[in-house]
């Protein structure tokens, strides 16, 4: 827990690609959101058979 609090105290590192500049924590969050979105599409809903 102390390590997490300490890492939040320092400025974030940035990823630069041409004219795009984004912080690494934001890039990780965007990646996680995309993964969750793809999983939500790929994983089927349960099917209720019969009544």
Average pLDDT, the chain: 82
Domain ranges of the chain: 2-42
Strand partners, 16: 21
The long-range contacts involving 28-34, CB below 8 angstroms and separated by at least 24 positions, are none
pLDDT surpasses 70 at 46: yes
Q: Can you give the pTM of this predicted structure?
A: 0.65
What's the token pair of residue 42?
């790929």
* Whether the predicted pLDDT of 8 surpasses 90: no
């Amino acid at each position: 827990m102390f390590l997490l609090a300490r890492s939040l105290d320092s400025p974030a590192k940035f990823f630069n690609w041409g004219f795009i500049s984004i912080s690494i924590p934001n890039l990780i969050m965007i990646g996680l959101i995309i993964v969750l979105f793809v999983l939500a599409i790929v994983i089927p809903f349960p099917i209720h058979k019969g009544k």
